[in-house]
Amino acid sequence: MVPMLTTERLTLRGLNRDDTDAVLRIFADPAMSRFFEADLSDPVQCREMVERRLSYAGPPELGHWVLERDGEVIGLAHLRPSWELPGDVTEIGYFIEPRHGGSGLATEAAARLLDYGLGELGVPAVWALIRESNVSSVKLAQRLGFLDIGSRTAYGAEHHVYVKLPGTHGKVHHIELWVPDLAEAEAGFGWLLGELGWREFQRWPDGVSWKLGATYLVVEQSPALTAREHRRCDPGLNHLALHVSTRRQVDRLLEESGAHGWKPLFADRYPHAGGDQHYAAYLENAHGFEVELVATPPGPHSNG
C-alpha cells in the first residue's frame, strides 16, 4: 500500500475499492475523457479502469492515490512503473475533478508526488506522457520543470514525452578530507572512487579531487594541518558512506580493497554489521579514515 502524503490543501492516500463511486463521479463529465482513447464517462469503462488500478502488483511504495480535500475525493493520481515507456521507468499521472480546475490543486498534488518519488524514494527520473492538445497539463509540466524530449505513440495516441530529473537543492556539493599523506590517500581513495564511477576532477600540489555527478570529494595534505593522525572516534568526521549498486559489487570491492591500502572493519559481522537489512562493507585505511560501502536496496522496480 502506498504511503499517505499531504500538501497544504490535499491528502493523497492509497486508492481502494470503496473509492469506486467517487472515481465514477470524477469522470462522469465527458470532458474528463477528451484526451483518452477510452470514454471514462461510461460507468462500465470507468469501473474497468479502477479495477486495473486496484490490480496493480508493482513495488508497494509506488502505485495509485486518490486526492482528498476536506475529506472529499476530488481526484486520482499515480506514480508507478510505466505501462507504455520502454525500460525501468517511473511514470506520473494526475486527474482533478473539473469543478476544481484552475485552483492549482493538480500542480500541488503532482509536486508532492515528484518530491516523494525523486526526493524520498530516489528514483532517477519521473516521466509523463501528455497529449499536445492537453494545454493545461503541458503548462503544469512546464511549471514543475519537466523537459519535453520528443513524442511517441502511447495509450493509442501520439503523446509528448516529458521527464523530470532530480534537482541539486540541499544535496552535498563537496566533501574535503585533510590527510597526513597525500600520495597514500590518493592511492586508496583514487582506486575506490574510480571503481565506483568517480573521475578525477581537480589536481594541485597539495591535493586532488574526484567528481561524480554534481558532487566532488577532495583529499588534501594542507600546510595548515595541525595533527598527523585522523581519529574517527573523536568529534568530527566518523566515516563516509557510499552507495554500491549490488551486493556482488560490495563483495568484490571488499575482496580487492586490501591491495589498495584498506583493511576491513567488523569483519566477523560482514555483511550485516549495520543490521540485518543493511548489506555493507566497512573499510579503514592506514590513517584511520573509514568508508562504508552500502549495497543499494532493491529499487522501486527491481525484483532483486
The per-residue pLDDT for range 110-136, each reduced to its tens digit, is 999 999 999 999 899 999 999 989 999
The per-residue pLDDT for range 193-252, each reduced to its tens digit, is 999 999 999 999 999 999 998 899 999 999 999 998 899 999 999 999 999 999 999 999
Q: What percentage of the chain has pLDDT greater than the value 70?
A: 98
The per-residue pLDDT for range 276-301, each reduced to its tens digit, is 999 999 999 999 999 999 998 754 44
Question: Which three cell numbers mark 95?
Answer: 486527474
Query: What is the set of domains in the chain, with CATH numbers?
Result: 5-164 (3.40.630.30), 174-295 (3.10.180.10)
How confident is the model at residue 298, as a pLDDT?
55
pTM, whole model, 2 decimals? 0.76
